[in-house]
Structure 1
Amino acid sequence: MRGFFKFDSTKNLIRNSLKGFSQVMLMNNAISGGLILLGIILHSPFLGLMALLSSMVGTLTGKYCGGDKIAVSQGIYGFNSILSGIAVMLFLQNDWNWLIALFAAVAAALLMVFLSEFLAKRNIPLLTFPFIIVTWISLFAAYRFDALHINPSFVTSSPANWNLPVEGKPNFLLGLIKGVGEVFIIDSLWAGSLILIALFVAGWRFGVYATIGTFVSWLTAYSLGVDVELLDLGLYNYNAVLTMIAVGLMFDKNNNYFPLMGIFAAAMTVPIAAGMDLILNPNGLPVLTSPFIISTLLFLAMRKTIPRFESQIIEKQ
């Protein structure tokens, strides 16, 4: 088939699909992706299977619908599909849930193909935008169509109730582990632990930066007076983990030793999550990773506008 590039084997497809799991955490490592998948399987074997199928579907969609060859080999077209497939499986409830999840995976990959080139010309990272759009549209459809049903246990992510009394002593380690798990919309110590291990396998900085992001958001949220139970669930941490890795590591062209901008960006995800929740919750929509996108793009734009801002502050310390 002229104009198309081909996988050498099914083994390559699986490897690239596993990379999709690592790309959710902004990594490019098949072994780390396998560990993440294992964590999801230990939480729910069927959910793990659907996540893998979603990644494979997204990867194939990128391949046959004009996606970049290098991006396909790095699992780029799989990570939004994984998140979209998992979201549909968790948020919707009907006999054809698995089929809707695969359609969502295809839709997320198509959005990546269509938007990637447009945004790349403007040096704007796509991040998890396709996942958010596909998930929100799926939920809106479920509210309007009788054939689709919202899972009765569905609750919006990152509930920003700032008036709850702070009772008890929060557990930072619990918030760290569950926080990284919540990136995949999963409340599981097994999944969170293996995802954290996967981060360190990909590189010590990934693990350390994820820990720093959790600590910063944990401290910010606690100082603002959030409920301890919500803090321990990691609902205020997962956006900060992604933001810290993105701003402090992946998009830091200067490779500063001290990721000051990343720390600020991670802290900002907490109030952003609060604001987004106030806007989205009345419409029955979860915050998902929208605080990660907003904070990351805001600080990347700031870095372009004031390129010496971070280095000047570090020099003064």
Structure 2
Amino acid sequence: MASPSVTPEAAPAPTGLKRFGLGSLRGVGQVDFQPSVWTSLLILAALWVESWEMGLFATIGAVVSTLTAQFLNVHHDTVTQGLMSYCGVLGAIAIVVYLGNHPSSYVLAVVAAVMCTLVTATLGRLLAPFGLKAFTGPFCFVALVMVLGAPSFERVWHGTPATAITPAVPKSPVVSWTDLWQGFFANFSQIFFAGTWYVGLIMLVGLFLAGWKVGIFAVIGSVVGLLTAWALGAPAALIGEGIYGYNAVLTSLAFGVVLLRSTPWNHLYTVVAAAASTGLTASLSVLFKVFGSHTFTWPFNITTWALLAAVPLLPRITLIADDKS
């Protein structure tokens, strides 16, 4: 997901309907930084496989965010590439996962999608002078506010749904082969709050459709997340559910595909970043649990912002953006 603050290249403007359709669909793939229509279709299909609720709310988030961007006359390339709708996709899914499927949830999903679009523009603008991008930060901010505030409103809060509860799991760090292979695939699906391994497999196929490099760095992120969590002694059951690896996948895609040039030093930096996001996942999980919130993709955002901000002082680490300047 690129920053919407970047000035798009001149191109023939697609018609309003085509812009809306492409922007809505690509918003799904842009969660993983990919504007590929085929990647987006496979990821969306995987969400419907996980459950009709997740598929529907993802669709609502994509559609509402795109409509909001079009209504506010955001540049057509930014809309068409899905750069204003990817956070809305996550925001709407978070509503059904953490607040449940109730009539009020559909209203909240629309509100979340609209707010994610606005905050995407705000955060992109604020971070641009520092050479940083919004990533999934807008979604994290909006979801944090809505999920924390929901219990205060009787017409919104219906108790914590089963989808939002991590069941009590054995604390044993002894990882089985099943934990490893299921966790490897679940690391991809947990980006969208889905913990089913075969849903992650479908998403991984979609990432490879975007290009072999995309698929390889997604795999690297998942493996680094698994190995780091295992090395630190994380509960095996949570490793198997993808809880400790999804931020590593996003971080690996960000540095390996979007941000850095393809050099050995940059590849090593990508691995370090992916491992760091895994460790931070545990820390933030403990922190957010204290006041009833959830980790979301905060570990990915914080790790990427911190290590991206350090790049200007690290001559061996080079940005793709430098090639365009």
- Give TM-score scaled by structure 1 length: 0.89
Give the one of 146, 152, 164 matched to 1:138: 146
Deviation string 1:236-261 (CA, Å, 9 cap, x unpaired) is: 11000000010122100x33256111
Matching residue's letter, 1:139: V
Where 1:272 maps in the other structure, the secondary structure is helix
1:124-273 mapped onto 2 (5 Å cutoff): 124-149=132-157, 150-155=159-164, 164-170=171-177, 171-252=179-260, 254-257=261-264, 259-273=267-281
Deviation at 1:66, TM superposition (A): 4.5
Deviation string 1:72-122 (CA, Å, 9 cap, x unpaired) is: 110011110000000001111333211211111111011112232332233
Q: Is the 8 A contact 2:13 2:77 kept in 1?
A: no
1:49 aligned partner: 56
Give the one of 103, 113, 138 matched to 2:121: 113
Aligned partners of 1:115 and 1:297: how far apart in 2? 12
Matching residue's letter, 2:63: M
CA distance 1:85–1:276, change in 2 (3 Å):
same
Where 1:96 maps in the other structure, the secondary structure is helix
1:61 aligned partner: 68
1:314 aligned partner: none
Aligned partners of 2:38 and 2:64: how far apart in 1? 20
Where 1:183 maps in the other structure, the secondary structure is helix
CA distance 1:6–1:58, change in 2 (3 Å):
farther
Confirm or deny that 1:300 pairs with 2:305. no
2:282 aligned partner: 274
CA distance 1:12–1:309, change in 2 (3 Å):
closer
Where 2:192 maps in the other structure, the secondary structure is coil
Deviation at 1:134, TM superposition (A): 1.0
Deviation at 1:50, TM superposition (A): 2.1
Deviation at 1:51, TM superposition (A): 1.0
1:89-100 mapped onto 2 (5 Å cutoff): 89-93=96-100, 94-100=102-108
1:33 aligned partner: 40
Q: Which stretches of structure 1, 4 residues or longer, exceed 6 Å deviation after superposition?
A: 156-159
Give the one of 266, 275, 294 matched to 1:286: 294
CA distance 1:46–1:279, change in 2 (3 Å):
closer
Q: Is the 8 A contact 1:22 1:28 kept in 2?
A: yes
Alignment RMSD (CA, Å): 2.4
2:26 aligned partner: 19
Q: Is the 8 A contact 2:131 2:309 kept in 1?
A: no
CA distance 1:33–1:158, change in 2 (3 Å):
farther
Deviation at 1:157, TM superposition (A): 7.2
Aligned partners of 2:62 and 2:34: how far apart in 1? 15
Count of residue pairs brought into register by the alignment: 304
Matching residue's letter, 2:276: M
- Give TM-score scaled by structure 2 length: 0.87
2:8 aligned partner: none
Matching residue's letter, 2:30: Q
Deviation at 1:310, TM superposition (A): 7.7
CA distance 1:309–1:57, change in 2 (3 Å):
closer
Q: Is the 8 A contact 1:62 1:113 kept in 2?
A: no
Where 1:121 maps in the other structure, the secondary structure is helix
Deviation at 1:178, TM superposition (A): 0.8
Deviation at 1:309, TM superposition (A): 5.3
Q: Is the 8 A contact 2:94 2:143 kept in 1?
A: yes
Give the one of 72, 78, 88 matched to 2:85: 78
Deviation string 1:182-216 (CA, Å, 9 cap, x unpaired) is: 00011123321111011000011111111111111
